């Protein structure tokens, strides 16, 4: 449930920020008449994303045996790719997103129809909606449906509340801070999905294992079985009986992408100190 809350909260905050930026700008230029189209575009995007998710769930739910495990692995590994791309893309776009959205709204308004604003909201929200559907399908395979639904409700409700507070609180929005703060947790979820995808492939016989299990913690209180073990499994991909390959990809993913996110990414975003001008008569 923890992974569901974090993913839906993060994606929901992204959607809420986008809508807040669009509506705050419309309010600034005196085009509150386009608010209705923004909501229509958002609702249509959510509806289409939910329909895609329902169809995908029904199709996958009907599979059995090795085919089911292979599809589960494909969804999990696909979610890792999209989740990782989303994490770094959002970080690179944080500083320019407000300006880009305002430019898109200006172009839509200049077309003479407020329905252009609806398309801005629709396509922006649809991207996040489809991403969320993929993540939720991957997480659902490792948790109970009740925990999945409860986590999604908590995450989206919190995101909606925070989005409303952002919209009411002012027009200056620092969207980089929140996503940097949750970046570490998202990387842990990505590592967990990666290791879970490997486990599904090994279960289906597609991928061999050279050493299993690395440890056996099934008899250990809390982390072996029960709610705590499920929580850790959903959040970090915890497995009380992992193979050496599961453990290896988990560690490797965190080392590689953790470095690029926390070390390399931060050094690129920091401005280089300006060189001091050399006094006259001296070489620079």
- CA proximity to 245, closest of 218, 204, 207: 207
> Can you give the pLDDT at residue 221?
86
Cβ neighbours, 10 Å, residue 262: 14
pLDDT tens by residue, 60-94: 877 888 888 899 899 999 999 998 998 888 777 76
Answer whether 191's CB lies under 8 Å from 236's CB. yes
Q: Which of 53, 46, 195, 51 is nearest to 134 (CA)?
A: 53
Q: How far is residue 36 from each of residues 105, 121, 146, measured CA to CA in Å?
A: 14, 11, 34
Mean pLDDT over residues 123-136, rounded? Answer: 87
Q: What is the pLDDT of residue 247?
A: 95
Question: What is this structure's pTM?
Answer: 0.78
Q: Where are the domains of the chain?
A: 2-269
pLDDT single digits (tens) 274-283? 444 444 444 4
């Amino acid at each position: 449930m923890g992974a569901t809350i974090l993913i839906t909260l993060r994606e929901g905050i992204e959607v809420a920020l986008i809508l807040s930026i669009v509506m705050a700008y419309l309010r600034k230029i005196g085009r509150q008449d386009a608010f209705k189209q923004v909501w229509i575009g958002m609702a249509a995007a959510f509806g289409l994303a939910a329909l895609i998710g329902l169809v995908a769930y029904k199709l996958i739910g009907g599979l059995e045996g090795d085919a089911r495990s292979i599809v589960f692995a494909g969804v999990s590994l696909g979610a890792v790719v999209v989740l990782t791309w989303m994490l770094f893309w959002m970080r690179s776009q944080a500083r320019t997103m407000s300006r880009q959205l305002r430019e898109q709204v200006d172009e839509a308004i200049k077309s003479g129809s407020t329905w252009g604003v609806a398309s801005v909201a629709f396509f922006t929200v649809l991207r996040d909606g489809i991403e969320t559907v993929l993540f939720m399908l991957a997480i659902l395979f490792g948790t109970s449906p009740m925990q999945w639904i409860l986590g999604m409700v908590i995450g989206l409700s919190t995101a909606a509340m925070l989005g409303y507070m952002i919209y009411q609180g002012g027009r200056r929005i620092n969207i980089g801070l929140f996503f940097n703060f949750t970046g570490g947790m998202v990387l842990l979820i990505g590592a967990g999905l990666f290791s879970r995808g490997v486990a599904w492939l090994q279960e289906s016989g597609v991928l061999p294992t050279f050493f299993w299990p690395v440890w056996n913690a099934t008899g250990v209180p809390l982390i072996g079985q029960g709610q705590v073990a499920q929580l850790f499994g959903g959040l970090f991909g915890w497995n009380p009986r992992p193979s050496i390959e599961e453990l290896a990809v988990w560690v490797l993913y965190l080392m590689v992408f953790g470095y690029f996110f926390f070390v390399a990414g931060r050094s690129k975003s920091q401005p280089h100190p300006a060189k001091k001008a050399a006094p006259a008569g001296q070489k620079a």
